[in-house]
Amino acid sequence: MNGPNLNLLGTREPEVYGSQTLQDVEALVAESAAARGFEVRAVQSNHEGVLIDAIHAARTDCAGIVINPGGLTHTSVVLRDALSGVALPVAEVHISDVMARESFRHHSYVADVAIVHVIGEGVRGYATAVARLIDVLTGQAEG
């Protein structure tokens, strides 16, 4: 799941986010999950309510959620509450090292709900998040 402005990957601030596109990210996630026997449903929206609806829908047919909430990371209690409310394991991903950026990016409302945190690994961090979340789901790691 990808939040606001992540549809602009590949063109938005490539010095921060790199040149890979959202489609590249979705392909990487799908391949990483498939290699471990899991399927993925990709969702991206610039609208908080759409993301919350997708989180609610995930509770009926998903084993976990990998999410880059974008700017909502730092502002959205409602997104955090939705993730908490569905009681699915969550992996939080950020392409850039948010702790090395502006001070307003240092707080994550998702951090206390997520059991996996992958920050600053670029787009490859999505594959790391998928692998770590699957390790938790399959009992190979603790969450």
Residue 143 maps to a domain: no
State yes or no: is 47 an active-site residue: no
Q: How far is CA 115 from the centre of its chain?
A: 12
Span 25-65, pLDDT tens digits: 999 999 999 999 999 999 999 999 999 999 999 999 999 99
Find the CATH number of the domain harbouring 131. Answer: 3.40.50.9100
What whole-number distance in Å separates Cα of residue 126 and Cα of residue 114? 14
Residue 17's pLDDT band (cuts 50, 70, 90): confident
Residue 13 maps to a domain: yes
From the candidates 47, 56, 94, 106, give the one annotated as an active-site residue: 94
Binding-site residue numbers are 68, 74, 81, 95-96, 105
Residue 19's pLDDT band (cuts 50, 70, 90): confident
Binding-site residue numbers for substrate are 68, 74, 81, 95-96, 105
For residue 95, the enclosing domain spans: 6-137
Q: What angle do helix axes 48-61 and 77-86 make, rounded to 10 degrees?
A: 10
Span 101-118, pLDDT tens digits: 888 888 999 999 999 999
State yes or no: is 117 an active-site residue: no
Q: Number of folded domains in the chain? A: 1
Span 87-106, pLDDT tens digits: 999 999 999 998 888 888 88
pTM equals 0.93
**Phi/psi of residue 90, nearest 5 degrees:** -125, 135
From the candidates 17, 47, 109, 117, give the one annotated as an active-site residue: 17
The residues, any chain, with a CB within 8 Å of residue 103's CB and separated by 6 or more, are none
